[in-house]
Amino acid sequence: MSRIDQLIGAMTLSEKLGQLTMTAAPYAVTGPFVAGDLSEGIKSGTIGNLLNLYGPEIVARTQRLAVEESRLGIPLLIGLDVIHGHRTLFPVPLAEAAMFDAALWTETAHAAAREAAADGVTMTFAPMCDVCRDPRWGRIVEGPGEDPFVGAAIAAAKVAGFQGKNLDGIAACAKHFAAYGAVMAGREYASTDISARTLHEVHLASFAAAVAAGVAAIMPAFTELDGVPMTANRELLQGYLRGQLGFEGVIISDYNAIAELMRHGVAADLAEAAALALNAGVDIDMMAEAYGDGLPVALERRLVTMDQIDAAVRRVLRLKERLGLFDDPYRSAGAESAADLAKRRVLARDAGAKSMVLLKNEKDVLPLTKPRRIALIGPLADAAQEMRGPWAAAAPLTGCATVLEGLRAALPDAEIEYALGVAIDGGAAEEAGGIAIAAALCDGADVIILCVGEAANMSGEAASRAHPHLPGQQQRLCDAIFEKAGGRPVITILFSGRPLIVPALVEKSAALLAAWFPGSEAGNAIVDLITGKVSPSGCTPVSWPRATGQIPVFFGERNGGRPINPADHYTSKYLDSENSPLFVFGDGLGYGRFAFSNLKLSATTLARSGTLAASVDVANEGGHTAEETVFLFCHDRLASVTRPLLELKGFAKITLAAGARGTVTLALKGTDLCFPGADLAPLFEPGEVEIFLGPAADRTRLVGATIRLVAD
Ligand code: GLC
């Protein structure tokens, strides 16, 4: 008999339910309430898993309570939101998405896992896989941006990075299943009401990729989808995840989500809530005490069976066994050396630079050329804490490199004058003085740098914004600086967890760098870019709306029956705005200037079982070595259901010296062109399909050709 069978055979109901319970320790606060002392629950076996605990000593001490003082000695799973780094912070996930570099996505996850494991963490609640096209939603910062292909690529890369081979890293937990990024009006925790088609075309791909990559766990979203809370969504958890995708891992509820089924209005009491969740396939109850208190009653009412409880316990014990916790419950990746930490800071600096997106660079004002006197202005210029972004795990409040520190380190001979200007979110009254002081700094400066944007807590969970603009009085500060600058160029560094609505800032800035929340090496990475040590290469993974009224705006829209036509009144348009976003998916400048030509296809027909190669010549006609991302899009003009105007099917990067040429080749498989048919089953439909390669989701900048899909 296996160890797991023996344990299940020996367990009391209370001990079984303990293995299905995850309780929060107080080392991080990630929910509306925290638990009290955990010792008795661990020793009695009624708490079998913890979250929000880290640190080698405290984890070992706590683990000892379970392993040496409980009746069966089953080790604890220790979970933490290691979302974009642990003690060393990498750029926030939306920023990392802009790197379009799967190897680097994996590398930063692996580095984070090493640091977290050294602190006794055995599971991270990441990757967050929620595709989102609504910048009002605060959690857009945690995800892959607007596109499902990117979401799938990141999910696979992050699972590999966190878990390593055979789970010798830490368990990953893909979240939040599913369509959380489609909350109504971008408002946190609101309902999601989307079509089954949108669910299949946009929101499931990243989870399917996570499962294919062997993700150990999945977390349902807080939200309801078409009237069914995800925590109780049997059709999608049992039917799709476990049935269709064959997911055999553990499903962990979100924080108190099982109890919240009562607020959703689908459970009369905790027993019914617990039964709904268990019947839907949720194995672990995070922080609701629903399984511990509700399942005994649910058993009595015959709402669930002991077999179902045993099956859930088995999955949890299996995960602990695969993590090696039974054989080495005090496992730790070993103390991190100073050399390890230094390596991770180098990685954070590299990822920081590659995640930032240069959205404007008028007259090549960047890179700077030997500035003599710099006026550095704004509330994000020397704000170490804000560089962390949301979900900063175990990273200290201080320690992130600021722009001011980065400039001083890189330009020791330059005279650097700094002024806050205004607070990040200050009121009109108390800010006038600061604006005047900041404006005065511009006198005599040959470079003026504005550092503006959001605070870290304006992004992430429970941080939706109805007006995703520059907060507080920052626009007034910017206007004063633009006016004072006269004809001198102003370089703007924009910090945010979302695309902000900043048309005026874009118009008046000579250069604008979207830095997002860059993490531990923020200031150094930014200065590497603006001084030309590194050429910017980030591409925005999400469209930047011109106005809140445009939301959602994204490249994968349908054509409709009356697509915009300026010559025709009765077509799809606004009276007061262009349809196009301020910046499209893929936009991002560098210090090179790339031209695309000579698209070649290895074949003009493609069967479902076939593969063709699409290649394009790329020339760097600029004056600096630079890196370009080449995207492969397709468009199925005529199909049995409408198809998006562009669908992303691949991307690759190329680095070229000034004046050099190269060729980028991307493979396209027939199965890549399957889409959900009228019955939502994957359909490969013979007919013509347009193929495009180029730098962004803008047909005017793509080179294209047509292929014909043919039956096998
Ligand atoms: C939070 C978040 C989830 C996180 C969990 C544990 O409420 O929704 O993303 O992993 O609780 O901290």
Write the pLDDT tens digit of every residue in 142-200: 999 999 999 999 999 999 999 999 899 999 999 999 999 999 999 999 999 999 999 99
Instruction: Give the three-class secondary structure for 4.
Output: helix
pLDDT recorded at residue 427: 83
Question: Could you tell me if the CB of 175 is within 6 A of ligand 1?
Answer: yes
* DSSP for 117-179, written as a single string: HHTT--EE---B------TTSGGGGGS--S-HHHHHHHHHHHHHHHH-GGG-S-B-EEEEETT
- Does this model's pTM top 0.95? My answer is yes
Site to probe by mutation for ligand 1, drawn from 23, 27, 29, 30 as the one with most ligand atoms within 8 Å of Cβ, is 30
Q: From the CB of 51, is ligand 1 less than 6 Å away?
A: yes
Would you state the pLDDT for residue 421?
A: 96
Using the mean position of ligand 1's atoms as its centre, give its distance from the Cα of residue 14 in Å. 25
In order of 374, 438, 617, the CA distances from 443 in angstroms are 10, 10, 47
pLDDT number for residue 364: 96
Given a cut of 80, is residue 432 above it in pLDDT?
no
Q: In 12-35, which positions are buried (b, 16+ CB within 10 angstroms) versus exposed (e)?
A: eeebbbbbbbbbbbebbebbeeeb
Could you give the CA distance from residue 214 to residue 237 in angstroms, rounded to a whole number?
16
Of 660, 600, 675, nearest to 625 by C-alpha is 660
Instruction: State whether the beta carbon of 31 lies less than 6 angstroms from ligand 1.
Output: yes
Q: Is 81 in the pocket of ligand 1 (CB under 6 A)?
A: yes
Name residue, tokens 């349809």: 579
Could you tell me the pLDDT band of residue 97, with boundaries at 50, 70 and 90?
A: very high
Give the position of tokens 């292909």: 149
- The residue with tokens 């807080």 is 222
CB contact set of 611 (below 8 Å; sequence gap of 6+): 667, 668, 669, 670
Ligand 1 pocket check for 391: Cβ under 6 Å: no
DSSP 8-state assignment for residue 589 = B
Which helix (DSSP H) or strand (DSSP E) does residue 570 occupy? none
Residue of 427, 418, 428 lying closest to 379 (CA atoms): 418
| Ligand 1 near 142 CB (within 6 A) | no
pLDDT tens-digit series, residues 131-142: 999 999 999 999
pLDDT band at 334 (very low <50, low <70, confident <90, very high): low
pLDDT in tens, 367-394: 999 899 999 999 999 999 999 999 998 9
Among 54, 81, 177, 284, the mutation site with the greatest number of ligand 1 atoms within 8 A of its Cβ is 81
Amino acid at position 105, single letter? W
Closest CA to 653 of 99, 156, 147, 146: 99
Residue pLDDT, tens place only, 39-67: 999 999 999 999 999 999 999 999 999 99
Are 286 and 256 in contact, with CB atoms under 8 Å apart?
Answer: yes
Q: Which residues pair with 290 in a beta bridge?
A: none
Nearest to 407 by CA among 386, 378, 436: 378
pLDDT mean over 676-681: 96
Whether residue 272 has its Cβ less than 6 Å from ligand 1: no
| pLDDT greater than 80 at residue 336 | no
With contact defined as beta carbons under 8 Å apart, do 708 and 670 qualify?
no
- The Cα 270–Cα 276 span in angstroms is 10
User: pLDDT tens, 192-236?
Assistant: 999 999 999 999 999 999 999 999 999 999 999 999 999 999 999
- Residue 497 is classified by DSSP as S
Give me ligand 1 centre to Cα 499, in Å: 23
Rounded to the nearest angstrom, the distance between the alpha carbon of 126 and the centre of ligand 1 is 10
Residue 499 has a pLDDT of 98
Host H or E run for residue 194: none
- Bridge partners (DSSP) of residue 667 are 613
Q: Is 254 in the pocket of ligand 1 (CB under 6 A)?
A: yes
The answer on pLDDT for 332 being more than 70 is no
The one-letter amino acid code at 577 reads S
**Cβ 218 vs Cβ 175: under 8 Å:** yes
Instruction: Write the pLDDT tens digit of every residue in 604-615.
Output: 999 999 999 999
Q: From the CA of 173, give the closest atom in ligand 1.
A: 10
pLDDT at 487: 85
651 touches 587 (CB < 8 A): no
Q: Which atom of ligand 1 is nearest to the CA of 30?
A: 12
Centre of ligand 1 from the C-alpha of residue 176, in Å: 9
* Residue 241 DSSP class: I
pLDDT tier for residue 36 given thresholds of 50, 70 and 90:
confident
Distance of CA 254 from the midpoint of ligand 1 (Å): 6
- pLDDT exceeds cutoff 80 at 431: no
pLDDT single digits (tens) 484-513: 999 899 999 999 999 999 999 999 999 999
Gap from CA of 19 to ligand 1 centroid (Å): 19
- Relative to the CA of 176, which ligand 1 atom is closest? 9
pLDDT band at residue 31 using 50, 70 and 90 as cut-offs: very high
- Whole-number Å distance, alpha carbon 59 to ligand 1 midpoint, is 20
Question: Token pair of 63, please?
Answer: 């683990």
| Contact status, residue 352 vs residue 525, Cβ threshold 8 Å | yes
Q: What percent of the chain has pLDDT over 70?
A: 99
Asked if the model's pLDDT at residue 333 lies above 80, the reply is no
Among 599, 657, 601, 649, smallest CA distance to 628 is for 657
CB of residue 255 inside a 6 A radius of ligand 1: yes
- Pairing between β-strand 250-251 and β-strand 217-220 as defined by DSSP bridges: parallel
User: Catalytic amino acids?
Assistant: 254
Report the mean per-residue pLDDT for the chain. 96
Q: Strand pairing partners for 655?
A: 627
Tokens of 300: 């009595």
